[in-house]
Structure 1
Amino acid sequence: MTSLPAGASISIVTSSPGLDYASIEAVVTVPTFRRPQQVLETLQSLRSQKTKRRFAVVLVENEAEKREGAAAAKSWFDDGLLQGMLIIAHDRGNCCAYNAGFLTTVTYFPNFKYALVVDDDELADPDWLENMCATAERLGVDVVGGPQIPVFARPEHSKWAAHPVFSAHYRETGVVPILYSSGNMLLSRKVMDTMGPPYLDLRFNFMGGGDSDFLSRTAQRGFRLAWCNEAIIRETVPERRVEADWIRARSLRNGVISTLVEKKKRAGTPFANTKVFVKSLLLLGASPFRGFLKLCKTGSISIALYPVYIGAGRVMAEFGYANEQYRQPEKN
């Protein structure tokens, strides 16, 4: 009987009756934390996928005490509404949840070709999975990312869609040099076998950015990356996330992550830390000018401040600043 490695802080709650693990081609990991209603909507979007590929869902409950998401979703697996597994990742944190899902995937699904990720505040369009897999095959790549289109709580908040915190880095399908987010991601079996476990670095566990670091490392290892603009995920954006202090904190955090990821990338090379620090100072120095250009182009003060916050966050990271937004989920 297949089992998880000794010491893995993971419990199997249930799995779909008669689940044929060996026949599954794609596995979708869905980490969830204190969003019992939203995760059901996420699962419904996966149940509605239009594809002939055999796929399974691994739902990762990261609230090990109340387990509200697991309680809400358990019948979906017990009754066979979804093919897959429901697990508990007992070690709390963003990276721990992702790692638990990936480890379960490679342990229980011997013939999977693709591992995908959707977060519990996201809805996948019906053709999402097929578009992701087909893009990987057509372009011959090992990693695919796609757009996370923000869906705001109020119509008047839609103006925030153009802000760098919410907007996509690419607009067209094709091979790209780097990806940044795991919220809409496909990884080939080769990537999974090469990169882990562990997959995401736990130093990013409550800050976020473990996905950016992981994707940076996959590119360094020579894996080819692509963007699929047709593989759409729609992300719910609560009112809290359009408040000025949240935008500022997320922008600073992105700067911190940028420094930490670049330091890891340059590790072992001459004067690595000095080069990163000098680059951060230069970016901070140039940020008022870059911000002014953005202000002229967009008319948005918030967008204009983004490069300033990025530069400040990069420099602050040199002095130990870390904005761990995921430690207080109620404020995130």
Structure 2
Amino acid sequence: MTTQAPHAVVCIPSFRRPDGLKKTLASLATQQVDFAFAIVVIDNDGVGQEALAVTQSFLTETGMLGQAFVEPQQGNCYAINSAFAKARSLYPSASYFLMIDDDETASSVWLANMVRTAETLDVDIVGGPVIRAFDKPASKGVELHPLFGSIEAKTGPVDMIHGSGNCLLSKRVFERLEKPQFDVQFNFLGGGDMDFFTRSKRAGLRFGWTAEAIITEFVPVERMEPKWIMTRSLRTGIINYSIDRARRPGLQGAVLLQAKNVISLGLSLVRAVSVFAKTGQPLVATHPVLLSVGRVLASIGITLSPYKAKPQS
């Protein structure tokens, strides 16, 4: 077990995926780094607490530095906020705080590349590619769908990143943001990461990208079904509108966004035809239309809660 203070802390919010978490933790044990790092896992299942047991067993067996805690208040943003808060409290000298999900694994050079990019570019937030591994052979429509794509960028500065499944935040992020937490209104809808990064950009924080820091996300069969994918497109539209609305409050903001929704809906039909002509895939062509429909639904108060789990008996 290392006695050196960690330079980075890897945070993992986890909810009822013990087998996935085992893979995630195993990938962290393979990291090729020349600095100390710690692991903080937040079990968001206050009843079963399987992630707590998995993590404690892993830390005992490997001797790696880290701790696990339970966040009983269910919600993705509650778990993420708890993870970052615990990491900063336990390891105040750490310079970087990273996040990986419990359905993902990290390549052996992931952590080294994320930290190196942050230091070389002197940026506040770093992202990296997320490659999807499907549980069964994917159809062409699934493979080409934007929801399963990743930013295709070279290592270097970028305007902004969008997802927290492969990200690094420097200590400066928490010191400079007026509200350095994920907004809990996105707990069961998703999109707390997009809102967080949007606020970070507005605060003047700088973003970088490292193409070499690869994360693999395992996609279960149910998330390859057209119904799930189309609902996810709707949800993305709802998220986008919610973030826009937070930036433009009041009556004037509502009027401007309704105009934007009308224009978006019209353009989405043109985009859908263009996408279908290019790909020949109806599922892919539904994406721009459903994004716009999601915006309209959000504007009249209709939302979704895909991440709200039913209580276990």
TM-score range, shorter chain: over 0.9
Q: Deviations over 1:241-274 (max 9, x none)?
A: 1111101110000000000111223347x82222
Query: How many percent of aligned residue pairs carry the same amino acid?
Result: 37
Residue 185 of structure 2: SS of its match in structure 1? Answer: helix
Q: Does structure 1 residue 300 correspond to structure 2 residue 281?
A: yes
- Report deviation, 1:103: 0.5
Match of 2:80 among 82, 87, 98: 98
Which residue number in structure 1 is paired with residue 293 of structure 2? 312
1:197: Cα distance to partner?
A: 6.2
Separation in 1, partners of 2:158, 2:257 = 23
1:220: which partner in 2? 202
What are the within-5 Å matches in structure 2 for residues 8-87 of structure 1? 20=3, 23-87=5-69
**How far 1:168 sits from its partner (Å)?**
1.1
C-alpha displacement of 1:116: 0.2
4+ runs of 1 displaced by more than 6 Å?
A: none
Does residue 185 (structure 1) correspond to residue 167 (structure 2)? The answer is yes
1:115 aligns with 2:97: yes
> Which residue of 2 is the match for residue 131 of structure 1?
113
Pairing 1:321–2:281 present: no
Instruction: Compute the RMSD of aligned alpha carbons.
Output: 1.9
For the residue of structure 2 that corresponds to 1:180, the secondary structure is: coil
2 CA distance for matches of 1:45 and 1:329?
A: 30
The alpha carbon displacement at 1:158 in A equals 6.9
- Give the secondary-structure state (helix, strand or coil) at the position aligned to 1:170: coil
Post-superposition shift, 1:193? Answer: 2.1
How many residue pairs match? The answer is 311
**In 1, Cα distance between equivalents of 2:248 and 2:179:** 22
Cα deviation, residue 285, structure 1: 1.1
What aligned pairs does 1:130-169 form with structure 2 within 5 A after superposition? 130-157=112-139, 160-169=142-151
Q: Is 2:241 aligned against 1:256?
A: no
Deviations 1:71-98 (A, max 9, x none): 2221222344321111111111100000
Which SS does the other structure have where 1:23 is aligned?
coil
How has the CA–CA distance of structure 1 residues 146 and 329 changed in structure 2, closer, same or farther, with 3 Å as cutoff?
farther
Distance in 2 of aligned mates of 1:92 and 1:75: 23
Q: TM-score, normalised by structure 2?
A: 0.94
Q: Which amino acid aligns with 2:291?
A: I
How many angstroms apart in 1 are the aligned matches of 2:6 and 2:178? 20
Question: CA offsets, 1:98-118, max 9 Å, x none?
Answer: 000010011111111100000
Unaligned runs of 5+ in 2: none
SS at match of 2:147: coil
Structure 1 stretch 168-177 or stretch 24-33: which is displaced more? 168-177
CA distance in 2, matches of 1:210, 1:156: 28
Cα distance in structure 1, aligned partners of 2:48 and 2:2: 27
Question: Given residue 32 of structure 1, which amino acid in structure 2 is its aligned partner?
Answer: S
Tell me which amino acid in the other structure corresponds to 1:286.
Answer: L
Kindly tell me: are residues 329 and 297 of structure 1, through their superposed partners in 2, closer, same or farther at Cα, counting changes over 3 Å?
farther
The gaps in structure 1 that reach 5 residues or longer are: 1-17
Are residues 167 and 82 of structure 1, via their aligned partners in 2, closer, same or farther at CA, if it must alter by over 3 Å?
same
Moved more, 159-168 or 186-195: 159-168
Give the SS at the match of 2:97. Answer: strand
1: CA distance between counterparts of 2:239 and 2:103? 22
Is 1:208 matched up with 2:190?
A: yes
